[in-house]
Structure formats: C-alpha cells, structure tokens
Amino acid sequence: MIMRISESWVRLWHNRLAISGLVLVLGLFAVALLARWLAPYDPDFIDLKQVLMPPSPAHLLGTDTLGRDVLSRIIFGARVSLLVGFVAVGIATLIGVLVGALAGYYGGVLDQILMRLVDLMLCFPTIFLILAVIAVLGPSIWNIMAVIGLTGWMGVARLVRAEFLSLREREFVVAARALGASDVRLIWRHLLPNALTPVMVSATLGVAGAILVESSLSFLGLGVQPPTPSWGNMLTMGKDNIEIAWWLSVFPGLAILVTVMSYNLLGEGIREAIDPRLRD
Amino acid sequence: MIPMLLGITLVSFLVIHLAPGTPTELQTTMNPKASVEAQKRLRELYGLDQPLQVQYWEWLKRISRLDFGRSFSPDRRPVWDKIRERIGVTLGLNLLSLLIILTVALPLGVLAAQRAHSWFDKGTTLLVFFGFAMPSFWLALLLMLFFGVYLDWLPISGLTSLGFSHLSFWEKFRDLGAHVTLPVLGSAFLGLAGVSRYMRGSMLEVIGQDYIITARAKGLPERVVIFKHALRNALLPVITILGFSLPGLIGGSVIFETIFAIPGMGQLLWWAVMARDYPVVMGELVIVAFLTLLGNLLADLAYGLADPRIRMG
C-alpha cells in the first residue's frame, strides 16, 4: 500500500500538466486567502467618476458600471468560487459515499432501491432540479451550496458501490468478517480506505463542476447575490453592457475557465497517477 | 418505465414541499406581491389542508390529464399551454445541436484515435479540455461579443427579426437560421468535448482487439478496417453516452435560451423561478424529466438496433 502510494506520487510528479494544475489550484487558494492584500482596490468601492473605464494602468482590467475595480472583484470572487466548490463537493461526497457504501455492502433489496433512486435523480437535468429548489428556498450562497451538493452525489454513489461490490468478496474482507468484525468496522476500516482513491479523483473533478454550476446560477441571478462579487454575477453585468464594455464579459469568464481547467488537470493527473493504464 | 415516471413525479412533488412551512406561507413572506387571492388559489391547487399522500395522489391524477394548474403570472394561463407552445423550440434547437455534435465529434474522435499521440490528437485533446472547462454562459457571451457585436454578422437576441411574418419563405428560413446559429453552435461545442473524447477512447479500445489485427493481417485496406470493422463496434458505447448527455444538453437550454432571449422551455423556467411561479416550475420539472427518460429509452432502442447481440425478443 505504502509502496503504491509513493509510486503514484512519483508518477503525478512527472505529469507536467497535472503539476501545473496543482500549482494553479494552490495559487488560487493563496489568492482567495490573501485577497485583502492582493486586491489593488476595495472590491465594493463605488467611484461614479470612473464608470466603465477600459483596462488601463490604474485599473488593469477596467471598471464596471459602478466604477468598481474589476481586478479586485475578480480576486475577491475567488473566495466565493472556492467556498461553494468545496462545501458543495463535501456534501455531495458525503451523501455519495454513504449511499454507495450501503448499496455496495448490503446489496440485495437495499441496493436495488438505492440504485433506482440514483437512476431517478439522473433523469432530471441537474440545472432544472437546482432551479426548482432555488425557486422554493430562494437564492443565497448557502442555499446553492446545499443544492449543488444534494443534486451532485449520484456519480460518487455509483463509484463507491462498484468498488465495494468488488472489494466485498476479497480475501482480506472475508478474513476480517470471519474474525468477527462488525459491519460498521468492515465498511469503515477495511472497505472504505480501499475505495478512497477514485472518490478523491471524482471529488477533485467535482469541485470544477460545482464552480461551473455556481457561476451559471449566479449569472442567471439565482446564485450569489450582488453586491457580493462572484465571477458569475460579474458576467451578468458584462452581458448587460456587451455592446459597450467587452472587458466585463471577458475577464471574469477567463477566471472561471482557468480555475475549472486547473482542477480538471489535477483530477485527471491523479487518476492517471493511480492507474497508469489509463494513459492509453 | 412506469415506476420511473412515478418517481419523477414524486421527486418533483417533494421539491416543492421541501420548504419549511407551506408553499402559501412562502409565497406571502418571500413575495409580497402575492395576493390573498393567489394564496387561496395555491391552497386549492395543492389541497394543502389534506395529508401529504392525499395531496400527492390528487396532484398525480391531475397531471395524468396534463393539468398542471394555472400559472401565477398575471396572464393566469394553464401551465401546459405555456409549456406546449415552447417545447418545439427547445427540442428543435437541441436536436440541431445534437446533429452537429454527431457530425463533428464522431469523425474527430475516430481521427484522433487513428492517429493517437500525433499532433492532431494532441490538438483535439486540448480542445476537449477547453470544452470541459468552458462555462456555457461565458461561451455564449464570447460568441455574442465576437460574431454579434464586433463583426456584427449575426443577431444576438430572439428567434426572429421584427416583421418576420412579412418575409417570404426563404427569407424566413434565413432569418431563423441566423438567429439560431449562435445558440446552437454554443451548445454543440460543449457537447462536442465529451462525445469526441468517448469516441476516441472507444475506438482506441476496439483497434487493439484481435479481430482488427486479423482484418489487417488478411490485407484489408485501412479504410475498410477502420470504418467497417472498427467503427461499428466502437459506436456502441457512444450511443449510451449520447443518452446520458441528454440531461446536460437540455439543461444547457436554460442558459442559452436565457442569454439569447429564445422563447423556449429554458427561458420559461428561468422566468418562473424568478417570479416563484410554482405551478410552472413543477410542470417544467416533470416534463423535462419525462423527456430525458424518453431520450434514454430511444438510446436503448438505438443500442438494440446497432447491436444484434442484445436485440430484445
């Protein structure tokens, strides 16, 4: 086990794309944490004499319709994206692991019911389901984190179930059961640790997905509400001023693209490091 | 199929009852515009004084007759009428982008697999990474910005121009085409990434099989090997993936229809959520899930047609 992990690390280290993803992800964390010191302006400072200024040395990425500095708002927007991404994926992973573990371990009728539930949830286009819940609960950053989590666990559940099904009959599990280990102990100590790596990959990719969903919702006016800066709601302003201020439509989107791509690169990198056969 | 349909209605029903308190309270606390009359209508619609299972059963009976109640918006029209007149637009646009996805992604995937690790393959891989990371609404904005505003080639809003009804048939065709180009291209680009990736992977797997080596060994031209022996088998898993990608495609409609002001189901849902028009939201949810289920069924049937081994009895 130890051997395998260190081998994987070496492989990850030699994957240039994955490492650049990792560096970007860490960089984003730094930006989100140090936003207060990195941002050249107060992101909420309204300056009506500097409205809709194109990029210039004073405002590197220009200003918006209220004269707020776009760069500073993008820097603070990183906080929202990362927060939503991590909390939503945390919720989704928790539910997914629980459902998948129960289905895979106990099998039978419980498995049947839970997997039909997964199929059922997959019938709904995620965004429709999310919007319906938002219609009831109202848009706020906490609600969208919960909703993205509650509608995003199905993939993890399938993954964990598949792992459990194959692990369940392996010698070490049978041996532990023969020694009288309880179900909880078997699941928690023997099965779960061995199913964790694919979950890690899907969680990394999940953060990217959650950030995409959050920004779409905020863009539609149903996610993070202004004046809190999020990349999605900044782009709403870009759309409303698309004919006069291109910079409002370009830079926040670029931030989303780079963020999502770095999580994807890292996730794919971990996947390949764990299972080198995937590199065709 | 039937249990799934019931499940869909149950989930939709529960979503609306998810809120703390009853929907009528919500309506009044969160939307001050809701009148006492609207409250009464809501209570009647859901029979809120009844136990939950009775409410569900009554609602189920109603929607089996396609009666989703009336919209809360000032026009008070039946929800089904509102959805019916928009379903065609959404389905049409999605079919169009599915068509584009298939005609571009499949050859792209095959070529990338055939020349694995070449520059062409690396180029498409890069494109795929962009496709996966690109927020759909940002892509729409960029398309608008470049083709609509900067080049001023294509309209960026609506389905038709003013005075559409006075145009001749061909002018109508051109006008409609110009309006749908950007939204369709946008949603097709996003679907492209996934499908071409799967096509490549599936093709690579098939090319490594013994029977392909046999086909090559007996001297068949490469073209025949690829398109006749390999492609037909490699297409099978892709059909399943197409079925799975349907929800995403339809989900994209909300974004693209909202941005390009296209009168489809996605735009209606957005309006309904903004206005907390619950009957419309529930109706949309049920119908869109039903459409997805139907799409998956079609994919299963197509799979059966393509693969004689699993043809149903």
Contact (CB<8Å) A129/B285:
yes
pLDDT greater than 60 at residue B54:
yes
Which residue among B135, B204, B289 places its CB closest to the CB of A124? B289
The per-residue pLDDT for A255 is 94
Which residue among B129, B135, B296 places its CB closest to the CB of A253? B135
Taking the C-alpha atoms of residue B89 and residue B79, their distance in angstroms, rounded to an integer, is 17
Chain A residue nearest residue B207, CA to CA: A280
Taking the C-alpha atoms of residue A36 and residue A41, their distance in angstroms, rounded to an integer, is 9
ipTM of the complex: 0.84
Chain B residue nearest residue A150, CA to CA: B15
Q: At which residue do the structure tokens 């794919």 appear?
A: A268
Rg, Å, chain B Cα set: 24
Residue B155 contacts A where some CB pair is shorter than 8 Å? no
The per-residue pLDDT for B19 is 61
Q: Is the link from the previous residue into A227 a cis peptide, with omega within 30 of 0?
A: yes
End-to-end CA distance of chain A: 24
Using CA atoms, how far residue A235 sits from A98, A270, B154, B276, in Å, is: 37, 32, 21, 23
Residues A212 and A257: beta-carbon distance below 8 Å: no
Taking the C-alpha atoms of residue B36 and residue B224, their distance in angstroms, rounded to an integer, is 72
Residue numbers in A near B142 (CB within 8 A): 249-250, 253
Q: Give mean pLDDT, residues B125-131.
A: 84
More confident call, B262 vs A47: B262
Angstroms from B168 CA to nearest CA on chain A? 31
Retrieve residue B208's tokens.
Answer: 């490594």
Residue numbers in A near B16 (CB within 8 A): 132, 136
Chain B residue nearest residue A221, CA to CA: B274
Taking the C-alpha atoms of residue A6 and residue A189, their distance in angstroms, rounded to an integer, is 21
Nearest 5°: CA angle at B297, between B292 and B302?
A: 125
Q: Using CB atoms and an 8 Å cut-off, which of residues 62-101 of chain B contact chain A?
A: none
Among residues A31, A23, A84, A27, the alpha carbon closest in space to that of A269 is found at A23
Residues B159 and B179: beta-carbon distance below 8 Å: yes
* All residues at 6 or more sequence positions from B55 whose CB lies less than 8 Å from its CB, including other chains: B13, B46, B47, B48
Taking the C-alpha atoms of residue A35 and residue A39, their distance in angstroms, rounded to an integer, is 6
pLDDT greater than 80 at residue A197:
yes
How far is residue B16 CA from its own chain's centroid? 22
Residue numbers in A near B130 (CB within 8 A): 257, 261
The per-residue pLDDT for B313 is 44
Q: Residues in chain B, how many?
A: 313
Q: How many contacts does A have with B, using Cβ atoms within 8 A?
A: 154
Least confident of A84-98, B26-40, B62-76: B26-40
Q: Give mean pLDDT, residues B220-249.
A: 82
pLDDT digits over A163-176, tens only? 998 888 888 888 88
Q: If pLDDT is split at 50, 70 and 90, which confidence band does B24 have? A: low
Q: Is the link from the previous residue into A198 a cis peptide, with omega within 30 of 0?
A: no
Contact (CB<8Å) B142/A121:
no
Partners of B70 in beta bridges: B78
Among residues A202, A241, A218, A211, the alpha carbon closest in space to that of A52 is found at A241
Contact (CB<8Å) B138/A256:
yes
Contact (CB<8Å) B272/A264:
no
Q: Give mean pLDDT, residues A204-232.
A: 91
Which residue among A215, A220, A280 places its CB closest to the CB of B270? A220
B47 φ, ψ to 5°? 55, 55
- 3-state SS record for A8-26: HHHHHHHCHHHHHHHHHHH
* All residues at 6 or more sequence positions from B189 whose CB lies less than 8 Å from its CB, including other chains: B131, B134, B139
SS3 A63: strand
Which residue among B4, B129, B281 places its CB closest to the CB of A261? B129
pLDDT digits over A77-124, tens only? 999 999 999 999 999 999 999 999 999 999 889 999 999 999 888 888
SS3 B168: coil
Contact (CB<8Å) B289/A138:
no
Retrieve residue B238's tokens.
Answer: 């892709």
* All residues at 6 or more sequence positions from B68 whose CB lies less than 8 Å from its CB, including other chains: B62, B78, B79, B80, B83, B279, B280, B282, B283, B286
Taking the C-alpha atoms of residue A252 and residue A239, their distance in angstroms, rounded to an integer, is 12
Using CA atoms, how far residue B92 sits from B88, B99, B171, B247, in Å, is: 6, 11, 19, 15
Residue B126 contacts A where some CB pair is shorter than 8 Å? no
Angstroms from A103 CA to nearest CA on chain B? 19
Chain A residue nearest residue B148, CA to CA: A243
Residues A24 and A254: beta-carbon distance below 8 Å: no
Residue numbers in A near B18 (CB within 8 A): 133, 136-137
Angstroms from B219 CA to nearest CA on chain A? 26
Angstroms from B169 CA to nearest CA on chain A? 31
Angstroms from B115 CA to nearest CA on chain A? 13
* DSSP string across B87-140: HHHHHHHHHHHHHHHHHHHHHHHHHHHHTTTSHHHHHHHHHHHHHHH--HHHHH
Angstroms from A172 CA to nearest CA on chain B? 32
**Residue B197: Cβ-neighbour burial (10 angstroms; 0-12, 13-18, 19+):** buried
* DSSP string across B181-227: HHHHHHHHHHHHHHHHHHHHHHHHHHHTSHHHHHHHHTT--HHHIII
Angstroms from A180 CA to nearest CA on chain B? 39
pLDDT digits over B180-191, tens only? 889 998 888 888
Count Cβ atoms below 10 Å from residue A54 Cβ, excluding itself.
12
pLDDT digits over A35-48, tens only? 889 888 888 888 88
Using CA atoms, how far residue B66 sits from A8, B14, B250, in Å, is: 55, 19, 21
Partners of A69 in beta bridges: A63
* All residues at 6 or more sequence positions from A109 whose CB lies less than 8 Å from its CB, including other chains: none
Contact (CB<8Å) B130/A257:
yes
Angstroms from A214 CA to nearest CA on chain B? 10
Partners of B78 in beta bridges: B70
Q: How many CA atoms lie within 13 A of A205 on its CB side?
A: 16
Residue numbers in B near A120 (CB within 8 A): 4, 7-8, 11
Residues A196 and A153: beta-carbon distance below 8 Å: no
pLDDT greater than 90 at residue A154:
yes
Among residues A245, A210, A246, A244, the alpha carbon closest in space to that of A230 is found at A210
Angstroms from B138 CA to nearest CA on chain A? 6
Residues A204 and A274: beta-carbon distance below 8 Å: no
Taking the C-alpha atoms of residue B32 and residue B29, their distance in angstroms, rounded to an integer, is 6
pLDDT digits over A60-79, tens only? 898 888 889 999 999 999 99
**Residue B76: Cβ-neighbour burial (10 angstroms; 0-12, 13-18, 19+):** exposed
Mutation target to probe the A interface, by most A beta carbons within 10 A, among B137, B139, B276 is: B137
Residue B215 contacts A where some CB pair is shorter than 8 Å? no
pLDDT greater than 50 at residue A27:
yes
Contact (CB<8Å) A119/B4:
yes
Residue numbers in B near A219 (CB within 8 A): 135, 137, 255
Q: How many CA atoms lie within 13 A of A72 on its CB side?
A: 18
Q: Which amino acid is at B296?
A: N
